[in-house]
Amino acid sequence: MSAAGTVSLHRMPRWYRTLFTSDALERFGFYGLQATLVLYASAPEAEGGLGLGTADAASLFGAWIGFMFMLSLAGGWLGDRVLGNRRALIAGCVVNVVGYLCLAVPAGWGAVIGLPLVGLGGAVYKPNHQAMINLMFGGSAGRERGISLMYLATQVSALLAPVVVGYLGERVSWSLGFAVAAFVLLVTAVQLTASAGSFGDVGRRPGRPLTPDERRHVVRRYGIAGVVLVVALIVLGLAGLLGAGQAIALVGVLSVIVPIVGYVLLYRNRALDGDDRRRLRAFLAVYLGATLFWMIVAHAASLLNLFARDHVDRNVLGVEIPASWMQAATPLLMLLLAPVLAVALPALGGRHHVAVKLATGLLLVGAGFLVMAVAMALTEPGTRVSPLWLVVVYFTHACGEIIIAAVTISAAADVLPPGFLGRTLGMLWLFAGLGGGLGSALVRLAAVIPEWLYFLGLGVVAIACGLAFVAGRRALVAGLTAGRGEIASTSDRQGQEGPA
């Protein structure tokens, strides 16, 4: 099943409305946590926070998002081989509900259990939601535009979540903010269940269900590994050897190892032929470009959030707004930009659109960090600066995110056969997890070197990588079209035809 024609906000098939709405609701919890996690973690225990030091609190978000993205390959596999993409969506929402309810418990153990559960729920939900979008669109020319418009849904939540969850957390109770997120995720699960008929048979069953032998092998191998890992964590926790710093470091190490292992296992899958592997090798450059992009963007919820709390003048008409509200700037800008970019993006780069769009996104966020370096250099200790500095940085993030997310998700659908779609998308988020894990370690450098130099270095690296994608655009196209001659992909044709 695929959607005929194109999709617009004024003409949505029922299945698209279902995915559009569910993503808006599911992302409410994610963006609420993104806006508040570093503030919640650094708040004193007497105020309901975790009482972590600034360095650990800043690293926690990168570690948590790295953990979630690290599990996304398994989440995509679960949809492809076990549950089917549709049931995996609902399962992810249910796990999220339990995770946010645990976070709402006003005790440290609630966060210890809740944060991993929320990460697991997101890891199952997100790749399968993206798989359903690609499967429902099929090969229609409106796929990339539909994905871009889907960002309107997520940005409504990204705009409201910091305002609602941030205000409740900073001014009323962290527990109440997390409880509201749990309720919204419960509504998401109910909505998906009630609207399942709009998908027909798409995603109802696994694309490549496990054979009985494969199922026994999976249970035996990964069941034992899971039990060993849980026991080891319990023993370390009881021995007092698994504090916040050690847990963050462990996730950082795993977020580097798991993408490498996951990519190698996918590459060596016996169901892939030589052309499949050549396209996957070429797509490794896309994975790595996305890694750098998400590593930089993740700073919005850590260092930039702390900068907003400590150095930005947040007085509006004599009232100081919560620091978490600054996180609403990016989604507000994305809401304004998404309709325009949804029309303009298909024509950007022509047949080289994947490389050109990746380059554009990296150049934008690199330029934003150069602006942040200037802001840091001009900020004296104990002084507060205009919020416009952060707004400019968030503007570059907003433009870059719309471009990078749409092109990587869309391009992933053309790399491997349909039965591998969930895992191809899961790998995309696995490498984004690599960015989060690297960021959780890298952000500690800001405590030992001047912050302006830290942002300058990252900005220069992003710009250099963006220019490298421009230089290598022809080689990337050759690799991504291996075995398909000179036939343009769906997105290429869309770019050549122009907006429909």
What's the average model confidence in pLDDT over 406-429?
Answer: 78
Q: What are phi and psi of 51, to 5 degrees?
A: 70, 25
Average of per-residue pLDDT values in the chain: 81
Outline where 168-302 has alpha helix (H): 174-194, 212-238, 244-267, 274-297
Structure confidence at residue 408 (pLDDT)? 85
Q: Over 90: is that where the pLDDT of 203 sits? A: no
What's the average model confidence in pLDDT over 35-62?
Answer: 84
Structure confidence at residue 179 (pLDDT)? 94
User: pLDDT-based confidence at 406, cuts 50/70/90?
Assistant: confident
Structure confidence at residue 238 (pLDDT)? 63
Q: Greater confidence, 484 or 157?
A: 157
What are 222-251's pLDDT values in tens digits?
Answer: 777 777 777 776 676 666 666 666 777 777
What's the average model confidence in pLDDT over 433-446?
Answer: 80
User: pLDDT-based confidence at 334, cuts 50/70/90?
Assistant: confident
Q: Over 90: is that where the pLDDT of 178 sits? A: yes
What's the average model confidence in pLDDT over 294-312?
Answer: 85
* Cα maximum dimension of the chain: 68
Percent of the chain with pLDDT over 70: 86
Structure confidence at residue 401 (pLDDT)? 83
Structure confidence at residue 345 (pLDDT)? 65
Structure confidence at residue 442 (pLDDT)? 82
What are 142-156's pLDDT values in tens digits?
Answer: 666 676 677 666 778
User: Residue 317's CB: how many other CB atoms inside 10 A?
Assistant: 5
What's the average model confidence in pLDDT over 348-356?
Answer: 76
What's the average model confidence in pLDDT over 39-51?
Answer: 85
Structure confidence at residue 487 (pLDDT)? 40
Distance CA 387, CA 323 (A): 11
Q: Greater confidence, 229 or 181?
A: 181
> Taking the domains of the chain in order of start, what are their residue ranges?
14-200+243-497
Structure confidence at residue 5 (pLDDT)? 43
Q: Whole-prediction pTM value?
A: 0.73
Q: Are 462 and 369 in contact (CB under 8 A)?
A: yes
Q: Over 80: is that where the pLDDT of 441 sits? A: no
**Burial class of residue 216 (count of CB atoms within 10 Å of its CB; 0-12, 13-18, 19+):** exposed
Distance CA 121, CA 140 (A): 30
Poorest-pLDDT segment among 58-67, 351-360, 455-464, 483-492: 483-492
Q: Over 90: is that where the pLDDT of 329 sits? A: no
Distance CA 354, CA 332 (A): 26
Q: Over 90: is that where the pLDDT of 24 sits? A: no
Q: Greater confidence, 239 or 284?
A: 284
User: pLDDT-based confidence at 492, cuts 50/70/90?
Assistant: very low
Q: Over 60: is that where the pLDDT of 398 sits? A: yes
What's the average model confidence in pLDDT over 289-302?
Answer: 87
Nearest of 43, 30, 222, 196 to residue 126 by alpha carbon:
30
User: pLDDT-based confidence at 90, cuts 50/70/90?
Assistant: very high
SS3 helix, strand, coil % of the chain, rounded to 5?
80, 0, 20
Q: Over 70: is that where the pLDDT of 295 sits? A: yes
Structure confidence at residue 478 (pLDDT)? 84
User: pLDDT-based confidence at 365, cuts 50/70/90?
Assistant: very high
Structure confidence at residue 242 (pLDDT)? 60
Percent of the chain with pLDDT over 90: 16
Poorest-pLDDT segment among 42-56, 266-280, 451-465, 476-490: 476-490
Distance CA 67, CA 31 (A): 16
Structure confidence at residue 462 (pLDDT)? 94
Q: Over 50: is that where the pLDDT of 494 sits? A: no
Poorest-pLDDT segment among 13-17, 66-70, 126-130, 232-236: 232-236
Structure confidence at residue 72 (pLDDT)? 77
What's the average model confidence in pLDDT over 190-210?
Answer: 83
Distance CA 423, CA 429 (A): 10
Distance CA 269, CA 199 (A): 29
Distance CA 471, CA 372 (A): 27
Structure confidence at residue 479 (pLDDT)? 83
CATH code of domain 14-200+243-497: 1.20.1250.20
Q: Are 22 and 29 in contact (CB under 8 A)?
A: no
Structure confidence at residue 154 (pLDDT)? 79
Q: What are phi and psi of 342, to 5 degrees?
A: -65, -30
- Which residues does 477 contact at the CB level (< 8 Å), separation at least 6? 351, 352, 354, 355
- Structure tokens belonging to residue 369: 């960090």
Distance CA 72, CA 78 (A): 10
What's the average model confidence in pLDDT over 112-123?
Answer: 88
